[in-house]
Amino acid sequence: MSGNTRGKLKEHLEGVHRNIDWCLHHLAKSATLIEHQLQQLPEFQDVKGDDTKEELFYNRHPMYQAVTSLAEGLQTFDKLAKDIYDTL
């Protein structure tokens, strides 16, 4: 592979990484917003103050599950892009 093509590929993969970082940032903000909404539910008072129970409480809610699952998937995707980058 010519050096120019290699350099361009690395540049694009760096762009993928930067975009994933922003996506993960926005997903973390989204998860925080969902957590704040869930804290308003009366059932939250039963688990408030216990980090493990709070986490289980959040994870029972589909929207929170969706956002955190998407973040996990993007982290895997980012790792794959990094592996490709490292082979160049």
CB 85 within 8 A of CB 11: no
pLDDT at 1: 61
**The residue type at 70:** L
Chain mean pLDDT for the chain: 96
pTM here? 0.86
Region 2-27: what's the mean pLDDT?
Answer: 93
Tell me the longest C-alpha to C-alpha distance in the chain.
62
pLDDT at 78: 97
pLDDT tens profile 29-66: 999 999 999 999 999 999 999 999 999 999 999 999 99
Looking at per-residue pLDDT, the higher value among 57 and 6 belongs to: 57
